[in-house]
Amino acid sequence: MSEIKDDLRYTEDHEWVKIDDDDASVAWIGVTDYAQSQLGDVVMVEVPSVGDEVSASDAFGTVESPKSVSDLFSPVTGEVVAVNDALEDNPELVNESPYADGWIVQIRMSDPSELDGLMDAEAYAAHVEKAEED
């Protein structure tokens, strides 16, 4: 079973969201352990630029593996305030450490209430279980 962390929120598209410990208006975003395992070896991550505006549910980048290129969908609306530059030279961090070193972007949320529409760990676990059955 994939690792699912209790302190994160999740999307149906297998992105995770963590609220910054020091600034509750900033959301850290990455792909889940389940997503990286389905992708296989990540060879490239394309991310937006700092200062770009993103909207909830819209694609903001891609993750590429030998199997496929998958869009990344923003769980929240806001401004990109940081990108994980380490992924440029080490995209495999998404595989090795999806919830820590493999984070993708940080977004300053314009509407933190959007988090209410995301799944908690229990709901996401059920979502993954259903995906594995299909």
Instruction: Give the predicted TM-score (pTM) of the model.
Output: 0.95
Model pLDDT for residues 86-117, shown as the tens digit of each residue: 999 999 999 999 999 999 999 999 999 999 99
Strands 9-10 and 69-73: unpaired
Model pLDDT for residues 50-67, shown as the tens digit of each residue: 999 999 999 999 999 998
| 90/84 Cα distance (integer angstroms) | 10
| 26/112 Cα distance (integer angstroms) | 9
Structural domain boundaries of the chain? 9-115
Query: Given 3.30.1330.10, 2.40.50.100, 3.40.50.2300, 2.70.50.60, which CATH number is that of 9-115?
Result: 2.40.50.100
